[in-house]
A and B are shown apart, each in its own frame.
Chain A
Amino acid sequence: MKKKLISALLTATMVLGLTACGGGQAAAPAAPAAEPAATEAATDSTETAEAPAEDSSSEAAAPAASGDQGKVLNISAWNEEFKSRLVDHYPGYEEVDGTTGKIGDVTVKWLITPNEENAYQNRLDEILLGQESAATDDKLDLFLVEADYAVKYTDTDYTLPIKDIGITDDDIKDQYKYTQTVVTDSNGVIKGSSWQGCPGVMIYNRAIAEEVFGSQEPADIQKEFSDWDKFFESAKKLKDAGYNVISSTADTFRVYQNNAKLPWVDGNKIQVDDNLIKWVEDSKKLADAGYCGTHGQWTDDWSKGFYPEGKVFAYFGPAWLIDFSMAADTEGSIAHDGGWAATEGPQGFYWGGTWICAAAGSDNTELVADIMRKMTCDPAIMKDIVLKDNDFVNNRPVMEELANDDSYQNKVLGGQNPLKMFCAGADNIDMANLTAYDQGLLGDFQTAMGDYINGNYATIDEAMNQFYTLATTRYPDLTY
Chain B
Amino acid sequence: MEKKKTSKVVKYNKWGYIFLAPFFIAYIIFSFIPLVTTIYNSFFENYRSGLKQIGPTFIGIKNYVSLLGAPEIWKYLGNTLIMWIGGFIPQILVALLLAYWFSDPSLRLKGQRFFKTAIYMPNLIMASAFAMLFFAITSDSGPINQILISLNIISQPYKFMEHIGSARALVAFMNFLMWFGNTTLLLLAGMLGIDSALYEAAEVDGATASQIFFNITLPILKPILIYVMVTSLIGGLQMYDVPQILTNGRGNPMATTTTVIMNLNQYLTSKNFGMGGALSVFMFFVTAVLSLFVFRFNSRKEEG
Contacts and interface: CB of A to CB of B under 8 A. Distances in A.
B139 A28 contact: no
A152 B272 contact: no
B253 A476 contact: no
Nearest to A125: B51
B36 A477 contact: no
A295 B255 CA distance: 16
Contact of B28 (A17, A25, A151): A17
The CB with the most chain B CB atoms within 10 A, among A21, A32, A300, is that of A21
Contact of A17 (B36, B49, B263): B36
Contacts of B254: 451, 456-457, 466
A104 interface: no
Given A456-B162, A475-B270, A158 B47 contact: no
B263 A473 contact: yes
Contacts of A294: 159, 162
Given A29-B53, A152-B51, A476 B270 contact: yes
B185 to A, nearest CB: 34
A17 B53 contact: no
A124 to B, nearest CB: 9
A450 B272 CA distance: 26
B28 A296 contact: no
A32 B51 CA distance: 9
Contacts of B265: 117
A156 B275 CA distance: 25
Q: Is the interface of B mostly helix, strand, loop or mixed?
A: mixed
B54 interface: yes
Interface size, A (range): 35 or more
B141 interface: yes
B216 to A, nearest CB: 46
Interface in A23-37: 24-25, 28-29, 31-32
B151 interface: no
A466 B251 CA distance: 12
A81 B46 CA distance: 36
A456 B252 CA distance: 10
Contact of A6 (B17, B33, B270): B17
Given A128-B51, A301-B140, A451-B253, A2 B275 contact: no
A473 B56 CA distance: 18
Interface string A414-457: 00000000000000000000001000100000010011001011
Interface string B151-162: 000001001001
Given A17-B28, A474-B269, A24 B50 contact: no
A92 B15 CA distance: 63
A436 B44 CA distance: 24
Contacts of A477: 47, 49, 54, 270
Interface size, B (range): 35 or more
Contacts of B50: 151-153, 155-156, 436
B282 interface: no
A294 B162 CA distance: 9
B33 A21 contact: yes
Interface string A283-319: 0000000100111100111001000000000000000
B13 interface: yes
Nearest to A304: B141
A160 B20 CA distance: 52
Given A20-B33, A300-B136, A31 B53 contact: yes
B250 A447 contact: yes
Interface string B127-149: 00000000010011110000000
Interface string B272-297: 10010000000000000000000000
A272 interface: no
B51 A17 contact: no
B51 A153 contact: yes
Contacts of B51: 125, 128-129, 152-153, 156, 158
B266 A474 contact: yes
Nearest to B274: A476
B161 to A, nearest CB: 9
A451 B56 CA distance: 36
Contacts of A469: 70, 72, 255
B37 A24 contact: yes
Contacts of A474: 266, 269-270
Interface string B18-50: 000000000010001100110011001011111
A463 to B, nearest CB: 9
A295 B139 contact: yes
B56 A28 contact: yes
Interface string A115-136: 0011000000100110000000
A262 interface: no
B253 A21 contact: no
Given A294-B162, A447-B250, 8 more contacts: A18-B36, A152-B50, A300-B136, A300-B142, A451-B162, A469-B255, A477-B49, A477-B54
Interface of A: 2, 6, 13, 17-18, 20-22, 24-25, 28-29, 31-32, 117-118, 125, 128-129, 151-153, 155-156, 158, 290, 293-296, 299-301, 304, 436, 440, 447, 450-451, 454, 456-457, 466, 469-470, 473-477
Which 6 pairs of residues, A with B, have the shortest CB-CB distance?
Answer: A21-B37, A454-B162, A152-B50, A456-B253, A447-B250, A301-B140
Interface of B: 10, 13, 17, 28, 32-33, 36-37, 40-41, 44, 46-54, 56, 70, 72, 136, 139-142, 156, 159, 162, 164, 248-250, 252-255, 263, 265-267, 269-270, 272, 275
